[in-house]
Amino acid sequence: MTVDQANPAQENHSPGLRLDDGSRVAVIGGGPAGSFFSYFLLQFAKRLGVELCVDIHEARNFAIPGPGGCNMCGGIVSESLVQNLAAEGIVLPANVVQRGIDSYVLHTDVASVRIETPLHEKRIAAVYRGAGPRGSKPTEWRSFDGYLQELAVGEGAHVVRGRVESVSLDGGRPQIKAPNGAPLTYDLVAVAVGVNSSTLKVFEGFGIGYAAPQTTKTYICEFFVGRDAVEKRLGSSMHLFLLDIPRLEFAALVPKGDYATLCLMGEEIDKPLVQAFMDSPEVKRLLPAEWNASPDFCHCSPRINILSAVRPFADRMVFIGDCGTTKLYKDGIGTAYRTAKAAAKTALLEGISANDFRRHFWPTCRSIARDNQIGKLIFAVTRQVQRRRFARRGVVRMAAQEQEKTGGRRRMSTVLWDTFTGSAPYRDVFLRVSHPAFVAHFVRNALAGSRPKEIQSS
Amino acid sequence: MSELGKPFRDGEVIVQQGDTGDCMYVVQKGKVEVLTAKGGADLRLAVLGEGDFFGEMALFEREVRSATVRALGDVWVLTLEKKSFLRKVQEDPSLAFRILEKMSHRIRELDIALEEAAARRSAR
């Protein structure tokens, strides 16, 4: 994709840039952020009686299994997003939800502990962003991204298939050149291309002050385990690992139909780190004895952002989802929903100038970015726990005791739940962890867990 | 393939009239019937399906449940707790649009039912 850099976007701080009847909106990228943006923009427009034309430019066909139809993501729809979607009237179909998650199991070298969802409900959805891993039967799965795109189309969006060839400005209005077509001029462009696209470099050169997010490499792999083995070994739990492996921040094994999705996050995940994780006894114990990782398994190393974009807006332009800002390590789809909805509300109710986005869209991004700063602190503490056996004992012992009791406050369980599932802001988690009662309980459990008798029995 | 929420079997009561409640529910799969006790019998007020919600009055009032909700066949229902939902609405008020739309729709239906009842009475 190229951009006409000779005519950079000039910011217009004056009021008057608005979407009206007949306005044309382009959405570059038809993943969750792009589809949510289109869906909410058209829904708000309908409520206000405004007729808009929304084109979603998307090269991928989400009906194709494997990399061709996948947006490279672990595929977890968080508890918080499942609830928001339910309140919005969006019910995820059973063939989109590969498995409803009702608990998670935290694995450490000292022990494992199972933590149930509140009310023992299946509140987290394990989904495939595309039509399933490479080699899976095309008709068996339904893509989450494809489903969201259908919702947007149901509200009146048009999907323009193919990769955008160029973006330029036509009298101050964005112009997009799609393959085999004449350039299309729009009143607004929503950029929702994630952080794994070279397109972002193009926008950085656009002279609008946008700088793409800083990223790190992750690792995602789809293991074929078989439906019975998935049911027996993993059940409806997300399996999280708190292991003392250098550079590994977080690891999860998520059950989905015949497969288990492995997600590794940390500092530049590479082959030796993946191997060290797969060789750990905690992982080997969980997978079938005769099972071996095949090199043919569908895997990818997408980048995720660790520092939000600079100035993800301009006149007639807004960056949503990962290419703007996202929650650190967690709930990327949920953050795409938040930023997309904030952008859609701003565009329709306030205006489409840089100033409108700064005043009404940027606060949502800023609050996510600030929360990520606290998230970094929480993960720094988690790293210390990972490295210290007595701390790991304290965490597991405290959570296990809470799970055994029917009543009482579940301080550690909720902290672990919200940290690892992304169900609550990091700020909330931090406030709970800093509470003197939490600290006192944790220290008592860490000390009790370090007594020789307990060590021998674990 | 999997559902979300919690399963209820045919005839199982999800919400009991007269109970206190602090959450609302969204039907994820299947159907439920809304009943009210009248003269010792259950009078069916409505049948709700996928995407419909019930128990929303508990979000706004501190009254007891106004009706019983029972599963019609196998049903999956997702719970939205009052505290966390109101916090979400505080962050994004537009999240309450759909509830307001549905409640407005129900008031309109009640108006029509009242008009029909008044017309029947005056025709007698």
Q: What is the pLDDT of residues A210-260, one digit of tens each?
A: 999 999 888 999 888 888 999 999 999 999 998 989 888 889 999 988 889
What integer pLDDT is reported at residue A211 of this predicted model? Answer: 94
Say what the pLDDT of residue A1 is: 52
pLDDT at A10: 46
> How far apart are the C-alpha atoms of A179 and A171, rounded to whole Å?
22
Residues 6+ apart with CB under 8 A from B85: A83, A87, B23, B24, B59
Backbone angles phi, psi at B40, to 5 degrees: 80, -5
Q: Is the pLDDT of residue A14 over 80?
A: no
Report CA Rg, chain B.
16
Question: What pLDDT was estimated at residue A201?
Answer: 85
Coil/strand/helix, residue A220: strand
Contact flag B80-A125 (C-beta cutoff 8 Å): no
Element (DSSP H or E) covering residue A55: strand A53-58
Residue A182 contacts B, CB cutoff 8 Å: no
Q: What is the pLDDT of residue A404?
A: 85
- Band of residue A4 on the pLDDT scale cut at 50, 70, 90: very low
Please tell me which residue, A129 or A455, carries the higher pLDDT value.
A129
Question: Which value, in Å, is the radius of gyration of the alpha carbons in chain A?
Answer: 23
Task: Spell out the domain ranges in chain A.
Answer: 2-70+143-213+306-372, 97-122+219-301, 388-457
Which of the residue ranges A325-339, A360-374, A444-458 would you say has the lowest mean pLDDT? A444-458
**What's the whole-number average pLDDT of chain A?**
88
φ, ψ at A187 (rounded to 5°):
-90, -25
Subunit contact B5:A118, Cβ cutoff 8 A: no
pLDDT in tens, A115-148: 988 778 999 999 988 878 887 765 567 899 999 9
CATH 2.60.120.10 holds for B1-81: yes
CA-nearest residue to A337 within chain B is: B92
Inter-chain touch A125–B26, beta carbons under 8 Å: no
Q: Taking 50 as the threshold, does the pLDDT of residue A9 lie above it?
A: no
Overall pTM > 0.90: yes
By the 10 Å C-beta count (0-12 exposed, 13-18 middle, 19+ buried), A31 is classed as: buried
Of B1, B53, B88, the CB nearest to A95: B1
pLDDT for res A139: 59
For A413, the token pair is: 């369980």
d(CA A454, CA A447): 10
pLDDT tens digit string along A311-365? 999 999 999 999 999 999 889 999 999 999 999 999 999 999 999 999 999 999 9
Whose tokens are 């000292």? That residue is A110
The pLDDT of residue B103 is above 70: yes
A92 close to B (CB below 8 A)? yes
Q: What is the pLDDT of residue A8?
A: 42
Task: With a cut of 60, say whether residue A457 has pLDDT above it.
Answer: no
Partner-chain residue, chosen from B29, B88, B97, that has the shortest CB–CB distance to A84:
B88
Amino acid at residue number A262: L
Average pLDDT of the residues in A278-297: 83
Contact A366, A79 (CB under 8 A): no
CA gap A376, A379 in Å, rounded:
5
Task: Read off the pLDDT of each residue in B60-88 and give the average, rounded to a whole number.
Answer: 92
Cβ contacts (< 8 Å) between A47 and chain B: which residues?
Answer: 97
- Find, among A379, A343, A383, the residue nearest to A363 by Cα: A343
Q: Where are the beta strands (DSSP E) in A91-191?
A: 97-101, 103-107, 112-116, 124-127, 158-161, 166-170, 173-177, 184-185, 188-191
B-chain residues near A86 (CB < 8 A): 26, 28, 53, 78, 80
Percent of chain A's residues with pLDDT above 70: 93
Q: Chain A: nearest CA to B40, how far in angstroms?
A: 32
pLDDT at site A376: 93
Contact in structure between A177 and A28 (CB atoms under 8 Å): no
Cα A248 to the chain's mean position, in Å?
A: 18
Distances (CA, A) of B75 to A95, A195, B72, B118: 16, 40, 7, 36
Q: Cα(first)–Cα(last) distance of chain A, in Å?
A: 58
A40 compared with A383, residue with greater pLDDT: A40
Residue A118 forms contact with B (CB below 8 Å): yes
Residue type, B4: L
Q: Which percentage of chain B shows pLDDT scores above 90?
A: 69
pLDDT the model gives residue A124: 94
Q: What is the average per-residue pLDDT within A164-170?
A: 86
Residue B53 has pLDDT above 90, yes or no: yes
- Give all strands (DSSP E) within A192-312, no chain letters: 214-217, 219-224, 237-241, 248-256, 259-266, 299-300, 303-307
CATH number of A2-70+143-213+306-372: 3.50.50.60
Evaluate whether A74 touches A127 at the Cβ level (below 8 Å).
no
Question: A60 versus A318: which is more confidently predicted?
Answer: A318
Q: Which chain B residues contact residue A83 at CB under 8 A?
A: 78, 80, 84-85, 88
Identify which of A59, A73, A15, A4 has the alpha carbon closest to the alpha carbon of residue A254: A73
Nearest to A418 by CA among A331, A296, A310: A331
Q: Which residues of chain A lie closer than 8 angstroms to B81, CB-CB?
A: 118
DSSP per-residue string spanning A281-307: HHHHHHS-TT----TTS-EE--EEEEE
Cβ-based neighbour number of residue A150 at 10 Å:
17
Output A157 or A202, whichever has higher pLDDT.
Answer: A157
Say what the pLDDT of residue A386 is: 87
On the question of pLDDT at B50 being above 70, the answer is: yes
Nearest C-alpha neighbor of B78 from the set A327, A225, A120: A120
Give pLDDT, residue A5.
Answer: 41
What would the mean pLDDT of A289-309 be, rounded to a whole number? 83
A115 to A83, A281, A291, A422, A449: CA distances (angstroms): 19, 21, 26, 15, 19
> What percent of chain A lies above the pLDDT cut of 90?
57
Contacts of B85 in chain A (CB under 8 A): 83, 87
Statement: residue A294 has pLDDT above 90:
no
